[in-house]
Chains A and B, each alone.
Chain A
Amino acid sequence: MTLRVPDLTTTTSKAVAEPFIRAEGVSKIYGSETDGVVALADVDLNIDQREMVVIVGPSGCGKSTFMRILAGLTPATSGALWLGGDQVAGPRQDVGIVFQSAVLFPWRTVLENVMLPIDIQKRGRKEHMQWVKDLLLLVGLSEFENRYPSELSGGMQQRVGIARALAHDPKVLLMDEPFGALDAMTRDHMNVELQRLWAASDKTVLFITHSIPEAVFLADRVVVMTPRPGRIAEIMPIDLPRERTLDMMSSPEFGAYVRRIRTHFGSTGALD
């Protein structure tokens, strides 16, 4: 078992260096500035390279909005975001996104779906054929490369979505509740798989969920967000050893983290 030290503990030595992702005072107001809905209020967040950061919070806490701003899909109302040294001003080619539903194109085969970023960015199918096949091997779908998405199960579809998000070799992987639509057992399995994938890569992952255990299981740091207006309530380093196993989810340390995060969401504990 490789024990990976969470990046947070090393940030003191890196403190002089620019963080890989830096958000400063990011706010988003839908509607007019005066009486619009505040989706995101004054979010500051730094994320290091190769870090796995999980944002957890109920619906309406602005976690998806933050991700959309980071991906350049929505402009922030105020504040600024830097990714790898450049300010985010619009969609960029070094970000991979995984949505809650797999968002596959039904007229493309599994292989062609994974090829989508290559096609869009005109990188050349031929040159990337082996790379894409390797990705399919990585997510365990090699035998299915010529199938169409609807011939696959939900979990398999989502794995195609993950392979596609990696196809253009982005530095950052943004995952918006990617396993939210899966059944609990498939979900656990996918979390283990994701951890394995991430550990073997050099990607920085920003993962969004409303499941507290999922957040604790995956994260180097959990960013707890609360709604109305969406803001960061706490940033919590998760000091559990890697590689994490499903057994660890019943350990007292794990439970302590979960309880601590839950205190932010009131006595009802209602998330969605």
Chain B
Amino acid sequence: MPDLSDIDTLRNRILSVFLLVAILAVWELLVRVGGIPVFVLPPPSSIFSAMWRGFATGVYYEHIAVTVFQVLAGYTIGCGLGFLLGAAIALNRYVAYFLYPYIVMFLSMPKVALVPLIVLWFGLGMTSKIVTAALISFFPLMINTITGLNAANKDQVDLMRSLGASGRQIFVMLRLPSALPFVFAGLEIAVTLSLIGTVVAEFLGAERGLGMLMQNMNFLMDIGGSFSILIILALIGLALNRTLLFVRRRIYFWDKFDQSPSAAKKSPAIRSAEAL
């Protein structure tokens, strides 16, 4: 995103609110006057009323809680394991040698294609969603951890060695902090992917959750309801991303000083395409 801070004035903020209102008004008008069927494109008013109904009756809260829990549990497990295996591969040549062929195979496999099997194996409960989210966030973390732990500058390693540093010291004082930009890039990809994975698994069979709810609404032609769920999902994704960004700024704080266009900064887009 280009730097737009110079035109972020009060006037332009008000204008952008007007723009939103105008879009919604045109949308409403087109659907009502233009005769577009409600099950193709619901007017904004019906989306808002569905949203209102969902929250007023309390139905949405439970499903949001279930989905968010599954995303977070799967994300934490997947990222944790991805980091550990990535570190093992980066640190031990034998682990790398024996495991890498399988990893490459799994890497090129579209992970969503496994979701029907996962639902079959782990049932309609939360487990299958957590497994899906974990599996899908595992790979970006693992790959980026491997890359990151090998990203330390050779002179930096030599400098530490020349001072008599142990392998452990080089890992803790140099390789781990050098890996952080890559690890955070992986975490950012994984957080989006784990939400996608959870929702896809819920589509395929679930007792509770936003994906299941949306699937039901589609069957009942409640397209306004479906749209309201989409908005909630987008907001959950946004909240997760922002939280991660907040944590990132705390831990990888020297990012704002880092002027070099490192590989870590370019990789997320490429990697996320691969990971699906």
Contacts and interface: CB of A to CB of B under 8 A. Distances in A.
B162 A91 contact: yes
A129 interface: no
Contact of A105 (B162, B163, B174): B174
A117 interface: yes
B216 interface: no
Nearest to A164: B159
A170 B162 CA distance: 11
Interface string B163-176: 11100010001100
A117 B163 contact: yes
A101 B258 CA distance: 15
Given A92-B164, A93-B164, A120-B173, A99 B254 contact: no
A148 B164 contact: no
Interface stretch (B8-16, B97-105, B130-138, B150-158): B150-158
A109 to B, nearest CB: 10
B173 A119 contact: yes
A211 B273 CA distance: 49
B257 A121 contact: no
A71 interface: yes
Contacts of B177: 105, 107
> Which are the 10 A-B pairs with shortest beta-carbon distances?
A150-B257, A103-B155, A106-B254, A93-B164, A120-B165, A120-B163, A107-B254, A71-B162, A99-B155, A117-B163
A150 B258 contact: yes
A135 interface: no
B163 A116 contact: yes
B108 interface: no
6 contacts: A68-B158, A73-B162, A93-B163, A99-B155, A119-B173, A121-B163
Interface of A: 68, 71-73, 91-93, 95, 97, 99, 101, 103, 105-107, 116-117, 119-121, 148-151, 168
Given A117-B163, A119-B173, 5 more contacts: A95-B162, A97-B158, A103-B155, A106-B254, A150-B259
A30 to B, nearest CB: 15
Nearest to A174: B162
**Chain B interface mostly:** helix
A151 B160 CA distance: 23
B94 interface: no
Contact of A73 (B158, B173, B254, B257): B158
B117 to A, nearest CB: 43
A56 B155 CA distance: 21
A91 B161 contact: yes
Contacts of B153: 103
A101 B163 contact: no
Nearest to A95: B162
B253 to A, nearest CB: 7
Contacts of B155: 99, 101, 103
A158 B257 CA distance: 17
Contacts of B253: 107
A91 B257 contact: no
B254 A97 contact: no
Nearest to A74: B158
Nearest to A102: B155
A93 to B, nearest CB: 5
A43 to B, nearest CB: 20
Contacts of A101: 155
Contacts of B257: 106, 148-151
Contacts of A95: 162
Task: Give the interface centre of B159, B169, B258 by most chain A CB atoms within 10 Å.
Answer: B159
B258 A106 contact: yes
A203 B177 CA distance: 32
A71 B161 CA distance: 9
